Amino acid sequence: MSENSQATPAAGADDANSRLEAARAAAADAARAAAEAAAAVEAAEAEARAAAQAAVDTAGTTAPDGAGSGPDSVSAEIAAGYAFDGASVELGTVVAGGAVDPAARVRIPLSMMNRHGLVAGATGTGKTKTVQGIAEQLSAAGVPVVMADIKGDLSGLSHPGESGEKITDRARETGDEAWTPTGYPVEFFSLGTGGIGVPVRATVTAFGPILLSKVLGLNATQESTLGLIFHWADTQGLALLDLKDLRSVITHLTSDEGKADLKGIGGVSAATAGVILRALVTLEAAGGDTFFGEPALETEDLLRVLTGQSDSGQGVISLFELGAQAARPVLFSTFLMWVLADLFQSLPEEGDLDKPKLVFVFDEAHLLFTDASKAFLQQVEQTVKLIRSKGVGVFFCTQLPTDVPKAVLSQLGTRIQHALRTFTPDDQKALSKTVRTYPVTAHYDLEETLTTLGTGEAVVTVLSEKGAPTPVAWTRIRPPRSLMDTIGDAAIADAARASSLAAKYGETIDRESAYEKLTAKVTGAPDLDPGLGLPPLPSDLPGTPPPAPAPEGPTVAEQILGNAAVKSFLRSAASSAGREISRSVFGTGRRRRR
């Protein structure tokens, strides 16, 4: 072997090592550049915040050409962004330089309430009272409202508030000089039959596999299996009305006969079925069996506007309390999502309206998204995005904006942020993220403002009537006109008994469904004409007619049923019955539009 041929591999190795060193050096340079870029961005953000604060600090001392300056001019400038032509929901008045300006109004255009919103803030900062005030004005404008009353302190909406010096002063400084104690039409509902309101239920079939998986805490594999179980029941025309129906179908599909039924579309493993059955038992033990069943809630009952009364034209506020489901708040929030999905599939397209047909408020919204599956989150995003065109607005109420997924948060046009607390590094990170979601403002240092807001104050931005974000406004929220306290369980129970819906939903109905059909299939169908069960007459009894001769050949009925065309028709009808249960978002049962 020549000397040159021996040197070639060594030279190739040296060349490869050189390229490797060059690549490492390039990667190190790129990492340094990225770090420097990130530092530059942070420095620019800090400089912008400092400049904004400097502008606030110097307001009132450097007004060009004698123009108006100081807190009043700042308030007037901000309020100009909230001067709308159409009807609005009044939130409060602008705070600038530590002073509130009663003439500088902050409001939400009524026509933009279906662009959704977020009400966020730490515990005790006034979120509930903000939502209460919004609900009052929507009701007065003829817009029905659906709200979750998890803590039970929204029942005061039904009673006039209590006047006092503090309330009167607060109303005056927030621009509500005409404040008077006022009650609003409220319907009290409870999930299942264990509460004090009108009981509401949903059938298992209508609830669908995705939402039920969320309630049961199933993983993606178990959710997929539950979807297969629902699919099989749908194709067989088996109505899953309550939990015992679902249990009977799962038991059947894990039996030898059931395994044969599933050939061609997959199977249900005994282990996965066992997990689902145990989760169902736990749900039943927590009172979930009183929620699933009939009569199911008809969501049209949430769209009522009073007519023919002294308070005619007011939208009815529907309050849902947990009832027996207090130990399972996830069921509560998921049920509200089912109601929203049912409205989505039943309401017609409306386009842009002067006011929404309904506004939906999700309290404790983090319960809806925590540990949610990818399929669930995708359906929430789709529903929130598209239901706007049905004239429905959705407001999420939670502690941190980061509780709401980014894809959903980006759909929310109204932002009402009460005070945030920064006790931990995670809190500080959440604060920084929240600040970056607001429009740039020269009037407030938002990081400082959001941590120093008083109770009943919020940083607000909404969509104007033209769809553009309004200026950021430190807002003192106006007080509700209704009672800012609970009216008590006895008063709620009395109101529920007096409701026109009590007769409709009060009694549980248990009609034939999957459980009864599968039980009959196992035990054998009963005799359709058992008679009275008397013994036969003796054949030699005087006057007894001779027995009728056995018919020769098939009867007329048998001939008809044996006809090939009739058999084809019956098979087609059976298939149609199985297909009758079609599914929409979240896999919920699709209803016919009424």
Q: Residue 532: its pLDDT value, please?
A: 41
Pick left, alpha or beta for residue 364 (phi over 0 → left; psi -120 to 50 → alpha; otherwise beta): left
Does 47 map to a domain?
Answer: no
> Do 214 and 165 lie in a common domain?
no
Does 12 map to a domain?
Answer: no
Residues in the chain: 594
User: Residue written as tokens 């995670």?
Assistant: 426
User: What average pLDDT does range 378-390 have in this prediction?
Assistant: 90
- 333 confidence band (pLDDT: 50, 70, 90): confident
Say how many C-beta atoms besides its own lie within 10 A of residue 259's C-beta.
13
Strands 414-417 and 457-461: antiparallel
User: How wide is the angle at C-alpha 539 spanned by C-alphas 537 and 544, nearest 5°?
Assistant: 80
> Do 210 and 255 lie in a common domain?
yes
Strands 473-477 and 457-461: antiparallel
> Do 171 and 184 lie in a common domain?
yes
> Do 303 and 421 lie in a common domain?
yes
Q: b or e along 37-75 (b: 16 or more beta carbons within 10 Å of the residue's beta carbon)?
A: eeeeeeeeeeeebeebbebbeebeeeeeeeeeeebbbbb
- 443 confidence band (pLDDT: 50, 70, 90): very high
Does 166 map to a domain?
Answer: yes
Domain that holds residue 248: 204-290
32 pLDDT higher than 80: no
Mean pLDDT computed over every residue of the chain: 82
- Higher-pLDDT residue of 534 and 164 is 164
User: Looking at the 3D structure of the chain, how many domains does it have?
Assistant: 2
User: For the chain, what percent of residues have pLDDT higher than 90?
Assistant: 54
> Do 302 and 242 lie in a common domain?
no
Among residues 290, 312, 345, the one where a domain terminates is 290
Q: Which of 572, 465, 549, 536 is closest to 83 using CA atoms?
A: 465
Among residues 470, 487, 506, the one where a domain terminates is 506
Residue 416 contacts residue 28 (beta carbons within 8 Å): no
> Do 369 and 281 lie in a common domain?
no
Among residues 449, 483, 506, the one where a domain terminates is 506
Range scoring the smallest mean pLDDT among 138-147, 254-263, 269-278, 549-558: 549-558
pLDDT tens per residue across span 495-552: 999 999 999 999 999 988 888 888 887 665 444 444 444 455 455 545 555 555 555 5
pLDDT tens per residue across span 98-121: 899 999 999 999 999 999 999 999
pLDDT tens per residue across span 181-221: 999 999 999 988 888 999 999 999 999 999 999 999 999 99
Q: Residue 525: its pLDDT value, please?
A: 47
> Do 495 and 404 lie in a common domain?
yes
> Do 131 and 190 lie in a common domain?
yes
Q: Which of 437, 433, 445 is closest to 413 using CA atoms?
A: 437
Does 526 map to a domain?
Answer: no
Does 450 map to a domain?
Answer: yes
> Do 115 and 146 lie in a common domain?
yes
Residue 210 contacts residue 379 (beta carbons within 8 Å): yes
Find the CATH number of the domain harbouring 402.
3.40.50.300
Q: Residue 506: its pLDDT value, please?
A: 93
- How far is the C-alpha of 537 from the C-alpha of 331, rounded, in Å? 61
68 pLDDT higher than 80: no
User: For the chain, what percent of residues have pLDDT higher than 70?
Assistant: 74
Chain-centroid distance of CA 29 in Å reads 47
> Do 156 and 302 lie in a common domain?
yes
Q: Residue 31: its pLDDT value, please?
A: 64
> Do 408 and 277 lie in a common domain?
no
